[in-house]
Amino acid sequence: MSGVPTSERSWQDILGISSAGSLADSLPADSRNCEIIRPGRQMAASLDSIRSILPLPREQLAAPDPVAQAAIAARFRAAATDEAVASLSYQLTSRELQQLFPLLAVTTPRGQSARQLAGRLARAIQIRACPTLYVSGWLLFQQHYPNVRPVAKTLARLGRTLGRRPPVISPQPSAQPSAKTVAQPDPLETPAPITRLAAPDSPWFLLHLLKCITASGLTLLQFMRQYQIHSDLPFGVELIARSFLAGGSASYSDNHRLFGLILRQAAPTVQISLLHHFFQQDGLPAKIRNRCFQQIYRQFGDLAAGNPVWQKLRARDVRIYQEWVKAATLGSHCRKSPQKARLYLRYAPAILRIEPWDENTLLIHFPDFLIADSRVNPHQALYYARPESGGNPFPLAHEKFNPNPADPAIPHRQVEDVIRSNSFQGIVGLPFDPDGIRLTGIFLNLLLGDKTGGQRLQRRRHTGGAAD
């Protein structure tokens, strides 16, 4: 922030202290031994005090008060008649009122005593029906989903008590929230009651909401913001996953961060379904597709990282991801040399794998050779023919092969001579400057230009020259 001082001098200028003096010197003599409140300390102490007295619903959810809940439960167990329950309900303070839904959520109505307590708590919620109770119940529903029967039933009744009004969804909201905003909706914003759309105790509740999202014209992010659905609670996770799985390409538009969020939070089986569904979306715009792939990469890495998810996906899905990783790696490595990137990408299907030698150098493995390419020397790479026995043409341990394998100082043949002699043995320098890149293209096309390229290369090796 531009208004925050960034140096000692700026603090001194603001406080009117000379560079030779100190803050203590500028105070009266009788106050120099007093404690000086640091900026922000008093504000933090005030906020802590306010939170302890008036916690927000999400703060209260994170720090339940079992002592207070036990005391309230004892009072309701003692209220044996409807009149006693009603009288007690009106006696509850605002702080005690906010304990009703949390207490209901942990009350398992199996025995007669527990069922009586759950019924009395539900009746008290109806008697004291108000928007703050709705917010508390809606949060508890999302946290305890799918085991929410008592809370869901009471929340549905509370919604009806607060008023039966038709759904009102703005088709053109003023702002597009971010995925970060959805994870923590504005706690001071009054949410639209979800009960306007569907009853939370309905077995088709999620299905109804998915239909409402489609019909509303809102994006998933906008819908979640309007109805205070938290993406980091179990219900929000389920809704997001179902929304992506039920939708087509349009589901991913401007939702790449939300896609990454659900990949991090979903169960492994749901992750598999989400990935498979995404890999089937052939019509995604390149920009959106790339952003979603980046989210997948951040979560699971490449195949070499060994994440078990790659063992459970279909082979076609894995191949799609591998191709993107290769293209993304080459594109990032050659971002200052787009012509080089395009040339490499032309032959991407023939690339077996790409591995880093160091932070600037890549080893690009083809079936019968590899190319060492360094960003330090962007205008030249080195080609290494793979030995007949297989393996790498040089030791991969740095201590055994001191030069960088892409170092142009390593003795090598000129690509013009190789093309002229039609012999592909040894180390060959591949130029990528504006004049030489055409020769490199010819060289690679001789090796990989058609489906018989690999066989052609093998015949050239055995004959030491022309194959045909």
* Predicted pLDDT at 392: 66
Helix (H, G, I), strand (E, B) or coil at 384: strand
Please give the chain's pLDDT, 468 residues, in tens: 444 333 433 333 433 434 444 444 544 555 445 555 555 677 766 666 665 555 666 566 656 788 999 999 999 999 989 999 999 999 999 889 999 999 999 887 778 889 999 999 999 999 999 998 999 999 999 999 998 889 999 999 999 988 654 444 444 444 444 544 444 555 545 567 898 899 999 999 999 999 999 898 888 999 999 999 999 999 999 999 999 999 888 888 878 999 999 999 999 999 999 999 999 998 889 899 999 999 999 999 988 888 899 999 999 999 999 999 999 999 999 998 889 999 999 999 999 999 999 999 999 999 989 999 999 999 999 999 887 656 667 655 444 556 789 999 889 999 999 999 888 888 999 999 988 999 999 999 998 875 334 444 444 444 444 443
319: its two tokens: 């191949």
Give the residue among 299, 183, 179 at the shortest CA–CA distance from 232: 183
Give the residue among 159, 157, 154, 127 at the shortest CA–CA distance from 141: 154
Domain parsing of the chain, residue ranges:
53-162, 175-184+198-313, 336-468
**Is-contact 413 426, C-beta < 8 A?**
yes
* Predicted pLDDT at 404: 87
* Predicted pLDDT at 125: 96
* Predicted pLDDT at 61: 62
In whole angstroms, what is the distance from residue 84 CA to residue 81 CA? 5
User: Mutual orientation of helices 268-279 and 234-246 as an angle, nearest 10°?
Assistant: 30
| 110-144 residues labelled b (16+ CB within 10 A) or e (exposed) | eeeeeeebbbbbbbbbeebbeeebbbbbbbbbbbb
Give the residue among 322, 320, 437, 424 at the shortest CA–CA distance from 330: 322
* Predicted pLDDT at 389: 58
Q: Specify burial of residue 366 (Cβ count, 10 A radius: 0-12, 13-18, 19+).
A: buried
Residue 218 C-alpha from the chain's centroid? 21
Q: Please say whether the dihedral angle defined by the alpha carbons of residues 130, 136, 140 and 143, taken in this order, is positive or negative.
A: positive
* Predicted pLDDT at 400: 52
* Predicted pLDDT at 463: 43
